[in-house]
Amino acid sequence: MPAYKAPLRDIRFLLNEVFDYPKHYAGLSNGKDADPDTVNAILEECAKFCEQVLSPLNRSGDEEGCHFDNGTVTTPKGFKEAYAEYVAGGWQGLSHPTEYGGQGMPMSLGVIKTEMLGSANWSFNMYPGLSLGAMNTIMQYGDAAQKALYMPPLTEGRWTGTMCLTEPQCGTDLGQIKTRAEPQADGTYRITGTKIFISAGEHDLAENIIHIVLARLPDAPPGTKGISLFIVPKIKVNADGSLGERNSVVCSAIEHKMGIRASATAVLNFENATGYMIAEPNKGLEAMFTFMNSARIGTAIQGVCHAELSYQGALAYAKERRSMRALSGKKEPDKVADAIIHHADVRRMLLTQKAIAEGGRAMIYFAAQYADHMVNGILEGDQKKYKYWDDKLGFLTPILKGFLTEMGLEAANLGIQIYGGHGYIKEHGMEQIARDARISTLYEGTTGIQALDLLGRKVLLMTRGKAVREFTAQIAKFAVEHMRNAKLRRFAADLARYAAEWNVLTMRVMLAARKDRDSVSAASHHFLMYSGYVTMAYFWALQAAVASQKLAQGGEEKPEFYKAKIATARFYFDHLLPRAKGHATSMVKPSKSVMKLPVEAFSFDY
Amino acid sequence: MPAYKAPLRDIRFLLNEVFDYPKHYAGLSNGKDADPDTVNAILEECAKFCEQVLSPLNRSGDEEGCHFDNGTVTTPKGFKEAYAEYVAGGWQGLSHPTEYGGQGMPMSLGVIKTEMLGSANWSFNMYPGLSLGAMNTIMQYGDAAQKALYMPPLTEGRWTGTMCLTEPQCGTDLGQIKTRAEPQADGTYRITGTKIFISAGEHDLAENIIHIVLARLPDAPPGTKGISLFIVPKIKVNADGSLGERNSVVCSAIEHKMGIRASATAVLNFENATGYMIAEPNKGLEAMFTFMNSARIGTAIQGVCHAELSYQGALAYAKERRSMRALSGKKEPDKVADAIIHHADVRRMLLTQKAIAEGGRAMIYFAAQYADHMVNGILEGDQKKYKYWDDKLGFLTPILKGFLTEMGLEAANLGIQIYGGHGYIKEHGMEQIARDARISTLYEGTTGIQALDLLGRKVLLMTRGKAVREFTAQIAKFAVEHMRNAKLRRFAADLARYAAEWNVLTMRVMLAARKDRDSVSAASHHFLMYSGYVTMAYFWALQAAVASQKLAQGGEEKPEFYKAKIATARFYFDHLLPRAKGHATSMVKPSKSVMKLPVEAFSFDY
Q: What is the dihedral of CA A142, A148, A151, A157, to 10 degrees?
A: -160
| pLDDT the model gives residue A605 | 80
Is residue B326 less than 8 Å (CB to CB) from chain A? yes
| pLDDT the model gives residue A292 | 83
* B75 DSSP 8-state letter: P
Are B421 and A442 a contacting pair at CB < 8 A? yes
Report chain A residues whose CB lies below 8 A from the CB of B494. Answer: none
Residue from B254, B348, B430, B570 whose CB has the most chain A CBs within 10 Å, to mutate: B348
DSSP string, A400-469: IIIIHHHHHHHHHHHHHHHTGGGGGBGGGSHHHHHHHHGGGGTSSS-HHHHHHIIIIIIIIITTTTHHHH
Is residue B575 less than 8 Å (CB to CB) from chain A? yes
pLDDT digits (tens, 9 = 90+) for A310-353: 999 999 999 999 999 999 899 999 999 999 999 999 999 999 99
Are A420 and B602 a contacting pair at CB < 8 A? no
Report chain B residues whose CB lies below 8 A from the CB of A593. Answer: 570-571, 574-575
Are A604 and B315 a contacting pair at CB < 8 A? yes
Report chain B residues whose CB lies below 8 A from the CB of A60. Answer: none
Residue A438 confidence (pLDDT) above 90: yes
Is residue B325 less than 8 Å (CB to CB) from chain A? no
Q: What is the CATH number of domain B8-288?
A: 2.40.110.20
Residue pairs spanning A and B at CB distance below 8 A: 327
Q: Give CA separation, B299 vs A301, A593, B36, B292, in Å.
A: 36, 31, 26, 11
Report chain A residues whose CB lies below 8 A from the CB of B556. Answer: none
Question: Model confidence at A247, in pLDDT bands (50, 70, 90)?
Answer: very high
| pLDDT the model gives residue B1 | 84
Q: Give the DSSP H/E element, type plus range, for residue B367.
A: helix B344-379
Contacts of B104 (CB under 8 A, 6+ apart): B30, B33, B95, B96, B97, B98
The average confidence (pLDDT) of chain A is 97
pLDDT digits (tens, 9 = 90+) for A140-191: 999 999 999 999 999 999 999 999 999 999 999 999 999 999 999 999 999 9
Whose CA is closest to A297, among A176, A167, A129, A501?
A129
| pLDDT the model gives residue A295 | 82
Fold of A8-66+76-141: Butyryl-Coa Dehydrogenase, subunit A; domain 1 (1.10.540)
Is residue B336 less than 8 Å (CB to CB) from chain A? yes
| pLDDT the model gives residue B405 | 98
Report chain B residues whose CB lies below 8 A from the CB of A339. Answer: 599
Whose CA is closest to B487, among B575, B571, B566?
B566
pLDDT digits (tens, 9 = 90+) for A11-64: 999 999 999 999 999 999 999 999 999 999 999 999 999 999 999 999 999 999
Are A452 and B604 a contacting pair at CB < 8 A? no
Report chain A residues whose CB lies below 8 A from the CB of B166. Answer: 421
Residue among A156, A444, A481, A560 flagged as catalytic: A444
Are B323 and A442 a contacting pair at CB < 8 A? no
Which residues 243-282 of A have a C-beta within 8 angstroms of B?
Answer: 255-259
**In chain A, where are the structural domains located?**
8-66+76-141, 159-282, 465-588
Which residues 475-534 of B have a C-beta within 8 angstroms of A?
Answer: 516-522, 524-526
Q: Give CA separation, A454 vs A299, A506, A513, A586, B418, in Å.
A: 16, 11, 14, 17, 19
- Nearest CB among B10, B525, B582 relative to A579 is that of B582
3-state SS, residue A270: strand
Q: Flag residues of chain B having pLDDT under 50.
A: none
Is residue A2 less than 8 Å (CB to CB) from chain B? no
Residue A241 confidence (pLDDT) above 80: yes
| pLDDT the model gives residue B515 | 92
Q: Give CA separation, A289 vs A379, A420, A451, A538, in Å.
A: 17, 43, 17, 29
3-state SS, residue A214: strand
Is residue B441 less than 8 Å (CB to CB) from chain A? yes
* Identity at B410, one-letter amino acid code: E
Are B323 and A420 a contacting pair at CB < 8 A? no
Are B582 and A582 a contacting pair at CB < 8 A? yes
Residue A606 confidence (pLDDT) above 90: no
Report chain A residues whose CB lies below 8 A from the CB of B328. Answer: 516-518, 595
| pLDDT the model gives residue B589 | 97
Whose CA is closest to B96, among B488, B428, B379?
B379
Residue A543 confidence (pLDDT) above 80: yes
Contacts of B521 (CB under 8 A, 6+ apart): A326, A327, A343, A344, A345, B452, B456, B591
Beta-strand relationship, B159-164 and B180-183: unpaired
Distance from CA of A392 to the nearest CA of B (A): 25
| pLDDT the model gives residue A557 | 84
Distance from CA of A301 to the nearest CA of B (A): 17
Fold of A159-282: Butyryl-CoA Dehydrogenase, subunit A; domain 2 (2.40.110)
* Identity at A268, one-letter amino acid code: L
| pLDDT the model gives residue A288 | 87
3-state SS, residue B192: strand
Report chain B residues whose CB lies below 8 A from the CB of A350. Answer: 602
Neighbours of A102 (CB within 10 A): 22
* CATH class for the region spanning B291-445: mainly alpha
For residues B130 and B573, give the distance between their C-alpha atoms in angstroms, rounded to a whole number.
Answer: 36
For residues B207 and B447, give the distance between their C-alpha atoms in angstroms, rounded to a whole number.
Answer: 35
Backbone angles phi and psi of A253, in degrees to 5: -175, 160
Please, what is the end-to-end C-alpha distance for chain B in angstroms? 46
- For chain B, state the CA radius of gyration: 24
Are A426 and B256 a contacting pair at CB < 8 A? yes
| pLDDT the model gives residue B292 | 83
Give a three-class secondary structure readout of A97-122: CHHHCCCCCCHHHHHHHHHHHHHHHH
For this structure, is A320 an active site residue? no
| pLDDT the model gives residue B509 | 97
Residue A289 confidence (pLDDT) above 90: no
A61 - beta bridge partners?
none
